[in-house]
Chain A
Amino acid sequence: GAVVSQHPSRVICKSGTSVKIECRSLDFQATTMFWYRQFPKQSLMLMATSNEGSKATYEQGVEKDKFLINHASLTLSTLTVTSAHPEDSSFYICSSLKGKETQYFGPGTRLLVL
């Protein structure tokens, strides 16, 4: 398998603040990484595709100005939830694409906005 880490594993913040989540591909370089959101008892919902050295591609309905993605190196992508509100509370999961076929997921970040 492959190792993908996320930090922090959980975060609680006040409404209106911004939260940054890091995703690291530890044992292979990833030109492409993905950010997902998962609500309780539901499947993963793709938010955006993060491409190293270029702008992220957002899925329909995902606000790019609210969910800022930066993929500055081949092993690190960050997701910043800006001006977080309670409805942004969710489980955020990243994945790294190995080759062109296989995604390996991070352990997820639980965000709670009060």
Chain B
Amino acid sequence: GQQLNQSPQSMFIQEGEDVSMNCTSSSIFNTWLWYKQDPGEGPVLLIALYKAGELTSNGRLTAQFGITRKDSFLNISASIPSDVGIYFCAGRGGSEKLVFGKGTKLTVNP
């Protein structure tokens, strides 16, 4: 079946630094979604990407749908303490179901 490799697994950064994480797939996806999950909460949608090559921003967040349709990255600029959490990528192939990465745990030191 389809698998997503998300990296890094965890990151420890200083407030103000930029962050980058990415996901790669063994097969082509039609949609890439990036979510953030806080402890004890459901995932919150950050950015949705629907076309290969698409670059989309949401405030300090920027994500791109790779041209090969097998990868996506998420950048966070000028990190702040509230950016702490677990970030998940998710891809949709030929069905409505999503395949999730294993998450990137972000820690921001003030």
Q: Which residues of B contact A105 (CB under 8 A)?
A: 35, 42-45
Q: Which residues of B contact A (CB under 8 A)?
A: 30-31, 33, 35, 40-45, 48, 50, 88, 90, 92, 96-98, 100-103
Stretch of A12-20, A63-71, A94-102 lying at the B interface = A94-102
Task: From known contacts A43-B103, A44-B88, A101-B31, infer whether A107 and B41 are also in contact, taking CB-CB under 8 Å.
Answer: yes
Contact between chains at A108 and B96 (CB < 8 Å): no
Contact between chains at A46 and B96 (CB < 8 Å): no
Q: Which residues of B contact A103 (CB under 8 A)?
A: 33, 45, 90, 98
A43's contact among B44, B96, B97, B100, by CB below 8 Å, is which?
B100
Contact between chains at B97 and A46 (CB < 8 Å): yes
> Once bound together, how far apart are the Cα atoms of A44 and B88, in whole Å?
9
Contact between chains at B42 and A93 (CB < 8 Å): yes
Minimum Cβ distance to chain B for residue A31 (Å): 10
Contact between chains at B102 and A104 (CB < 8 Å): no
Interface size on A, residues (CB 8 A): 24
B97's contact among A1, A34, A101, A108, by CB below 8 Å, is which?
A34
Contact between chains at B96 and A97 (CB < 8 Å): yes
Q: Which residues of A contact B43 (CB under 8 A)?
A: 44, 93, 105
Q: Which residues of B contact A100 (CB under 8 A)?
A: 96
Residue of A nearest to B105 (CB): A41
Contact between chains at A101 and B50 (CB < 8 Å): yes
> Once bound together, how far apart are the Cα atoms of A93 and B90, in whole Å?
15
Q: Which residues of B contact A32 (CB under 8 A)?
A: 96
Chain A CB count within 10 A is highest, among B88, B96, B103, for B96
